[in-house]
Amino acid sequence: MSVEITSEINEQVDALESRFQTQQDRQLNNLPLAPKDIADIGIAATIDTATIETETEPKEMKLTYAEATNKTSTPKPKTFLLYPNNESEEINLIKLLKTEIKIGRDFQIKDVRNLQNQGISVDCPSQQDVVKILESIGNNPSLQEKIKPIRTKKYLPKCIVYGLEPEFTK
């Protein structure tokens, strides 16, 4: 690096350090003075401890592990799949849906992803939006000929563990 750049960086670092030091000095100056004799301690004991405790607590409480796991999770988007009916035709389903279905007032689409075999996955914020989109596809005869909608099902996860003895059945 050139000498000019390093000197400029050093000046900026020095300025930041001086700002940090002045902020720390201001915070130390705002602290109450320590009592000098026993009489001052007796007076300080009459102060309401509830107000002192609330002032010293951090503004943002950290959650314990149990509290964090018990938090309600955000609702998962409702998903359905769309595939072209005729395998021989090259159809861009996203363009087809944009031209045939008016998105906005009646329902919302959160996300659209491409899938294998020229299909798409459509995520909606609610199940009502999914029903409205599928109804609009069902009511449009040109879309019925070109698109095959599939609703996704919830499956339980499965795991295969190898190397267990035959006594274990579950």
pLDDT tens-digit map of 92-121: 888 888 888 876 677 888 889 998 888 899
Average pLDDT over residues 43-62: 56
Mean pLDDT of 49-56: 53
Cα–Cα dist 131/145, whole Å: 19
Q: Give the model's pLDDT for residue 121.
A: 92
Which residue type does 70 have?
N
| d(C-alpha 44, C-alpha 37), whole Å | 11
Q: Which residues contact 113 (CB under 8 A, 6 or more apart)?
A: 120, 121, 123
Taking CA atoms, 37 is separated from 41, 42, 52, in Å, by 7, 9, 21
**What are the Cα distances from residue 91, in Å, to 48, 73, 137?**
74, 37, 16
59-73 confidence digits (pLDDT tens): 567 878 888 788 777
Q: What is the pLDDT of residue 36?
A: 57
* Domain boundaries 79-151, CATH class: alpha beta
pLDDT at 38 over 70: no
pLDDT on residue 108: 84
Distance CA 57, CA 86 (A): 65
* Residue with more model confidence, 32 or 72: 72
User: For residue 5, which amino acid is it?
Assistant: I
CA separation, residue 133 to residues 42, 104, 149, 152 (Å): 73, 11, 10, 14
pLDDT at 18 over 60: yes
Give the per-residue pLDDT at 151.
86
Picking from 80, 155, 69, the residue whose alpha carbon sits closest to that of residue 120 is: 80
DSSP secondary structure of 104-155: SSS----EEEE-GGG-EEEEESSHHHHHHHHHHHHH-HHHHHHEEEEE----
168 pLDDT higher than 80:
no
144-153, pLDDT tens digit by residue?
888 888 888 8
pLDDT at 54: 52
What percent of the chain lies above the pLDDT cut of 90?
A: 2
- Residue 45 scores a pLDDT above 60: no
Lowest mean pLDDT among 86-90, 107-111, 133-137: 86-90
